[in-house]
Structure 1
Amino acid sequence: MSRNKKLKTCFFAVMSIFMIVNLLVFYFKPAYSKSSSPVQIIFWHSMGSNLGKTLQHLVDEYNLKKKNVKVVAQYQGSYDDMITKLKTSQAAKRGPDIVQVYEIGTRFMLDSGWVVPMQKFVDADRFNLKQIEPNLLAYYTVENTLWSMPFNSSTPILYYNKTAFREVNLDPNKPPKTFNDVETYGMKLLKKDEKGKVIRYGLSMAIYGWYFEQLLAKQGALYVNNGNGREKRATKVVFNSEAGKNILRWWKRLIDKGVAGNFGRNYDDTINAFISGKTCMIVASTASLKTILDGAGKKFEVGTGFIPALNNTKNGGVIIGGASLWILKNREDLYQKSAWDFVKFLVSTTSQLYWHRNTGYFPINRGVYSLKEMNEHLKKFPQFKTAIDQLHATPINYATRGALIGVFPEARQIIEESIEKVIVKNYSIDKALKEAEAKINKAIKDYNQIFGY
């Protein structure tokens, strides 16, 4: 064989091998690799309007920083809507990776069997929980296990019209500390027209079951038995007590004397009454502070104070409201760990500073208070500090950690009906509480039986 012919044969052999190798590489090459495709995390939440925009800003910020994870935030409507949709999606095995659930949904989430305890990720990552507000952690810690991460947390505070205080010679820097003070202040602030019709009330509170719970805790009293359902599962309510009766007695007394106005169950109606000058003091969530400040504008100066006390106990305080973040075990570890990474981002100092300043919810990370921006913010809006001080002044015990029952949404409606009967229909306080007790106890019993208790 000639030398040229040998070279030609070798050339074609090499080319053939090269083509075969390339074909094999092409054939076995995956369409994409896990390392190049981000893990998509589905996050269900109930933050609408401005809250939703603020949350989406944080989601977008996280997605820009992370190339291997993409969080898709999906608004699901109200907290109640969220629970309903969650039940449906979980039954179809199409639930999200992270879900935001209101605080009164805690017992149900524990019973659902859908959850990976947040404690698992905390321990594995050696995450320092000391940076998180202890009062907030206490609510979501059950049997020494942190089940969910507090996120949008709030408590009620007293809002008052400082301008109106000055008008009637009340010290604008000294809000009422007790219910007796509220009555005294309210009588001075009360304003009537020539015909004797009230045109400005001293105080107003929405008919809201959450306030009943708060005023029990303020007295150091429990809502349900077994340590508010924290020693073991609650089986009955215990609010039909002197503490529960104190609340309704005080509320009805102020209504009957014309000092307090009743604007119904709609929370926003009482907020609007305060902003429009129809009432000088209200009890409302800390999460409403920005809305109230914006609404009052230059019309009057807004002051804030602790929830007034009904007794002299040192064991009383406030219970947190709002919601927390739960990681669900719908998908494998990779997704759960990615969800945990996003949770850590949301509770970081930077994220919590932004969240607090734009919503009014507590910064759940205590490191926020050491930031220069936070100190400047509190100097500009000292009203925010009241909520923080009240939280820090609250002792952690069964009363202030809040009750755990699986029928809380129903229980709140029953309590609201009872309050309405007493202050509007002159119903007997004893009878109203006894009827509420019976209805809620039945609901608790029926719920517990579903889960074999």
Structure 2
Amino acid sequence: MGKKRLVSLLLAAVMLLMAACSVNMGEDEPKTTTDPGTKGTETKSGAQKVVFWHAMGGATTKVVDQLVDNFNKSQDKIQVEAVYQGTYDDLLSKLKASMGTSEGPTVVQMYEIGSRFMIDSKLITPMQNFIDQDKWDVGQLEPNISGYYTFDDKLYSMPFNTSNPILYYNKDLFKEAGLDPENPPKTFEELKTAADKISKTGKAVGANFAIYGWFMEQFFANQGAEYVNNGNGRDDLATESLVNSEAGVKVMTWWKDLIDSKAANNLGRKTDDSKKAFSAGQVAMILDSTAALKGLVDGTAGKFEVGTGFLPKPADAKEGGVIVGGASLWMMNNRPDEEQKAAWEFIKFLTSPEQQAFWHINTGYFPITTKAYEQDSVKENLKKFPQFQTAIDQLHNTKLNRATQGAVMGVFPEARQIVEGAIEEVLNNKKTPKAALDDAAKEITSKIQEYNRTVK
């Protein structure tokens, strides 16, 4: 099969899957729909042009534009043009449309669950190639972040916007229920006890978790459990979903018990609905991305104090941790070598401690480099938002293994949607946890195998 034919089949398969559903991505969907183009720097005569496609909407678009402007002003040989392409799904659709033309990007941002597809597409140059040629020190990256994008000991893409889930809780409601506001629940069992006490006060519901496939993936990793077979799809192509394993059934049994006992409520799939209920003091505990922290703290200022805790897990769970969410930067291999080398210079610039500090403070995403935490601006920001220390500690306490590296499969967007459907069936009393997850696993496995046949 020719390269163009393979890529066309892969893109067609993925686009069909994503056309059927609106996919939750592990962070807030961008709100902006216009294309602001590049801000600031005027085009430099004779400079090598680099086109950067991204999906950072809303206020984050301005932060991306500023990073690009910072780079363009730092030298006179390369001119980067940042182009906002809408949501991650929109971006992938436009990437497909650019195939076979000269209109595509040099560098493209892709959500983490698109990693398997990007590798299989044969459209990219692994970032490791530039790292090796330049003898660039990968050790400066946070290992639990770079680990997600490392396959067969190669870093295929450069981490960009990175987050993970944490527990947010209302310290005032904890106090009123007789709970220690400085000691958030660490286990499923402790969370159930705390949620029960808060709900019984009649002042708020104990907890709410959005029906979000990303959370299920995280609950697996936090139990040291793999989500798909073959080493989470990292030792070989995944061929089977493991969502119906003991780890999954344990999560759904606990979650349903929270709902049935009225220790928690069900507000559906939208994380925005969960955050609104939390900010209004209607629920005491929610799960959300670390990138939501600044907005939640600012939004509740003067109402109550926001506390943060690690993602809870069963008391008898194996060693695990959280998986990074977000997206990374991929180098497209259909661009001239000189253009790719210029793009590599831009990517290196983005990883510098100064730029990472700026990115972190203005977006809430993690710095991907360890030295960014030594920047005075980051230290000051931590004083202002001490709750973020929880996120840092959780990331650093995570032991990197196949479970916490995260699963990879070519049909991840649809798999996430199927799992969300199964969660709904359980919480709405349509199926038992085991039956719903068995059906989900069967459907996902079928989709994985269909994708693998396309790849082969």
Provide the TM-score with structure 1 as the length reference.
Answer: 0.89
SS in 1 for 2:104: coil
Q: 1:51 corresponds to which residue?
A: 60
C-alpha separation between the residues in 2 aligned to 1:311 and 1:100?
38
* CA RMSD after TM alignment: 1.3
* Greater helix content: 1
For residues 63-94 of structure 1, the C-alpha deviation after alignment (integer angstroms, 9 at most, x for no partner) is 11121111111111111111121122124453
Structure 2: gaps (5+ residues): 1-43
Structure 1 residue corresponding to 2:392, chosen from 388, 404, 410: 388
* Alpha-carbon contact 1:219-1:311 (below 8 Å) kept: no
* Alpha-carbon contact 1:352-1:363 (below 8 Å) kept: yes
Q: 1:133 corresponds to which residue?
A: 142
C-alpha separation between the residues in 2 aligned to 1:211 and 1:372?
33
1:347 aligns with 2:351: yes
C-alpha separation between the residues in 2 aligned to 1:149 and 1:254?
39
C-alpha separation between the residues in 1 aligned to 2:449 and 2:182?
48
SS in 2 for 1:71: strand
Tell me by how many angstroms 1:36 deviates: 4.6
Name the stretch that deviates more: 423-432 or 260-269. Answer: 423-432
Structure 2 residue corresponding to 1:147, chosen from 156, 163, 168: 156
Q: 2:14 corresponds to which residue?
A: none
Q: 1:406 corresponds to which residue?
A: 410
Tell me by how many angstroms 1:370 deviates: 1.7
1:228 aligns with 2:232: yes
Q: 2:98 corresponds to which residue?
A: 89
C-alpha separation between the residues in 1 aligned to 2:111 and 2:330?
10
**Greater CA radius of gyration, 1 or 2?**
1
Name the stretch that deviates more: 78-87 or 385-394. Answer: 78-87
Name the aligned partner's letter for residue 297 of structure 1: A
1:170 aligns with 2:170: no
SS in 2 for 1:200: coil
Q: 2:296 corresponds to which residue?
A: 292
Tell me by how many angstroms 1:191 deviates: 5.3
C-alpha separation between the residues in 2 aligned to 1:79 and 1:71?
20
* Alpha-carbon contact 2:187-2:313 (below 8 Å) kept: yes
Q: How is 1:39-438 mapped onto 2 (pairs within 5 angstroms)?
A: 39-190=48-199, 200-438=204-442
SS in 2 for 1:52: helix
C-alpha separation between the residues in 1 aligned to 2:432 and 2:196?
25
* Alpha-carbon contact 2:140-2:370 (below 8 Å) kept: yes
Provide the TM-score with structure 2 as the length reference.
Answer: 0.88
C-alpha separation between the residues in 2 aligned to 1:288 and 1:67?
36
Tell me by how many angstroms 1:311 deviates: 3.6
SS in 2 for 1:190: helix
* Alpha-carbon contact 1:153-1:323 (below 8 Å) kept: yes
Instruction: Report the CA distance shift for 1:246/1:60 in structure 2 as closer, same or farther (over 3 A).
Output: same
Name the stretch that deviates more: 116-125 or 419-428. Answer: 419-428
Identity across the alignment (%): 51
SS in 2 for 1:47: coil
SS in 2 for 1:425: coil
SS in 1 for 2:428: helix
Tell me by how many angstroms 1:365 deviates: 0.7
* Alpha-carbon contact 2:189-2:315 (below 8 Å) kept: no
C-alpha separation between the residues in 1 aligned to 2:378 and 2:413?
35
Structure 1: gaps (5+ residues): 1-34, 194-198
Q: How is 1:435-450 mapped onto 2 (pairs within 5 angstroms)?
A: 435-450=439-454
User: Number of aligned pairs?
Assistant: 413
Tell me by how many angstroms 1:183 deviates: 0.8
Q: 2:10 corresponds to which residue?
A: none
